[in-house]
Structure 1
Amino acid sequence: MNELNRLRDTLRPHLPWHGARLNFVCLFLMALFQTKTVNLMEIATVFANPVQISSNYQRLQRFFRQFKFDRAEIARFVVSLIDIPQPWTLSLDRTCWSFGQTHFNILMLAVVHEGIAFPLLWTMLDKKGNSNSGERMDLFDRFEALFPDVEVACLTADIKSG
């Protein structure tokens, strides 16, 4: 429980959420770190609370279905925790995921620090295939608006023209 309190105290200044919401996110993160999976049923089995697994699972489902978080707030939070020195190396990448019959095509912009790419901003592409210049520029415009004073050393990308 001490780790849970420390995590909550770390997150509180960065995420201006209601206490119950923050506690839930801390429980979720602790379970995520323990299980090392994004499978909600697996995460529900290790929640540090006395509730039944099925109740934890339903709570996780409701959270991801209903809670709308500010992506810019999360990006600023990630950057503040990592304390990345400037100039930054940015990485642009597109990835496709499938969940049953649903396909996700995501264009992601990340900051690279010590060999790890930390996702900051993303766009869900409502199409199959590669991103276009306009979609990439929109993502960079959002980045510049969010981090106007950041110096960028370079951009890495694997862009296929098509």
Structure 2
Amino acid sequence: MTIPDTARLHADTLATHLHTALPHRRLDALRRLAEVLLALIQAESTLHRKIALHLPRDATLESKTRTVARVFHDAQLTPQDVTDVLLPLLPQGKLTLIIDRSTWHDAQTALNILVLGAILGGAVIPLVWSILPHQGNSSTAARILLVARLLGVLPARRWAVLIAEREFVGQQWCSFPRWIRIRQCLRIRENTRTQDDLARDLFTTLQPGEVRTLFERT
């Protein structure tokens, strides 16, 4: 079986799953969506032309690029649709979750997006998100609301750990995962002081792959 044939088979399989989760959508539209999703993963890019290079279609690059553009603009998927489709695809058991904020650009508009997703292989699969009505860091309330939305369909017993970047700090925010019994792994700034030492001084001798644990409460 050639690579294009294999890609078409994968697209057919994904389209069937999408139709099961979204029976109100047309199968041909879902198949185009499946092709673009798989091509997006291969391209590791959101640029239409790069995604088009991986579409398993016998057409010109310009034609395939227009197909990608139509799928992005006409998919009409709600956030709930995305969650309904992706959750059954995740492995059973505990999952590693990541919360992050990123700024994307839609034409001339900057979108400040707060995203909560699960690690699957070498990628993070976004499960829920919200577009913040401002630029800059997210508020504690926005983070808690996003976590609560996912907890509605993915109970805390499925969360192995919640990973977050340095901007996700604050006593109220850090207390919330602990209150709902979710372990968390938060990156801290190198100038964070632990009693008499700076964090960077405690861990400066570590080599890649090594771990150092502070057993005392700090």
Query: Normalising by the residue count of structure 2, what TM-score does the alignment of the two structures yield?
Result: 0.60
3-state DSSP of counterpart to 2:17: coil
CA distance in 2, matches of 1:116, 1:72: 21
Paired residue for 2:128, among 103, 121, 126?
121
CA distance in 1, matches of 2:65, 2:122: 34
Letter in 2 for 1:89: T
Q: Which moved more, 1:116-125 or 1:148-157?
A: 148-157
Distance 1:109 1:34, change over 3 A: closer
* Alignment RMSD: 2.8
Identity of aligned residues (%): 23
Letter in 1 for 2:134: K
CA distance in 2, matches of 1:10, 1:43: 17
Greater Rg, structure 1 or structure 2?
2
Q: Does 1:72 align with 2:76?
A: no
Q: Which residue of 1 aligns with 2:180?
A: none
Paired residue for 1:144, among 139, 151, 159?
151
Q: Which residue of 1 aligns with 2:111?
A: 104
Distance 1:156 1:96, change over 3 A: same
3-state DSSP of counterpart to 2:96: strand
Q: Which residue of 1 aligns with 2:13?
A: 9
Distance 1:95 1:34, change over 3 A: closer
3-state DSSP of counterpart to 1:138: helix
Structure 1 residue runs of 5 or longer lacking an equivalent are none
Q: Which moved more, 1:60-69 or 1:6-15?
A: 6-15
Structure number with greater CO (CA < 8 Å, separation at least 6) is 1
> In the alignment, is the contact (CA less than 8 A) between 1:97 and 1:105 conserved in 2?
yes
Number of residue pairs matched?
160
Q: Which moved more, 1:94-103 or 1:52-61?
A: 94-103
> In the alignment, is the contact (CA less than 8 A) between 1:92 and 1:109 conserved in 2?
yes
Residues 14-72 of structure 1: CA distance to partner in whole angstroms, max 9, x if unpaired?
44332211221233234334434321123234432233332322222222122211323
Q: Which residue of 2 aligns with 1:37?
A: 45
Q: Which residue of 1 aligns with 2:163?
A: 156
